[in-house]
Amino acid sequence: MDKKIPSKENLIETVKQVLSSRLKVNSQEELARLVLKRLRRENKDYAVSPLRAKRIALSIPEIEVKAKTRKAVKLQKISDCPICHSGIEPLEVKNLAEKRVLVGYQCTGCAYQSDLEAFMPMKYAFLWKEAKL
């Protein structure tokens, strides 16, 4: 059977629903699992990878993504997109020591996104910001 890929809009909505009801999710695997559980009420063939769930969460302003590491890892900076040569924006999150750590890059001109996970496995936690108010 074919897997169905949910749209970005659908994923953003579903990730928001999951976080606003749970307030905190402790890993990207768990986030993907919870998101999938909701999506499958619509269509049981939906599939979401933990990496995609995390990227979606990073794009939602109401959600704080935290890296579960105390180290601020230094990584090679890239200055432009390898595909279209537009500017690159760093994707940063805070770690447990409240330091900002780089977790990837995204292009300002195209859909290119790079994850540093390939070089450095990271654990993440996802928090619904309103829960802290």
Interface contacts to Zn ion, rule CB under 5 A? 81, 83-84, 86, 107, 109-110, 112
115 has which bridge partners? 104
Angle in degrees, CA 35, 13, 97, rounded to 5: 70
Q: Which is nearer to Zn ion, 70 or 82 (CB)?
A: 82
Place of tokens 């802290």: 132
Of the pair 83, 131, the CB lying nearest Zn ion is at 83
Q: Work out how close the CB of 87 gets to Zn ion at its nearest, in angstroms, rounded to a whole number.
A: 9
Q: Which of 91, 94, 90, 89 lies closest to 125 in space, CA to CA?
A: 94
- Residue closer to Zn ion, measured from CB, 72 or 84: 84
Structure tokens at 71: 């180290």
Task: State the nearest-atom distance from the C-beta of 85 to Zn ion, in Å.
Answer: 7
Nearer to Zn ion by C-beta: 63 or 107?
107
**Residue whose C-alpha is closest to residue 52's, from 100, 95, 10, 87:** 10
Taking the complex as a whole, the smallest distance from the CB of residue 83 to Zn ion amounts, in Å, to 5
Residues 84, 90: Cα–Cα separation, whole Å = 16
CB of 79 to Zn ion, least distance (A): 12
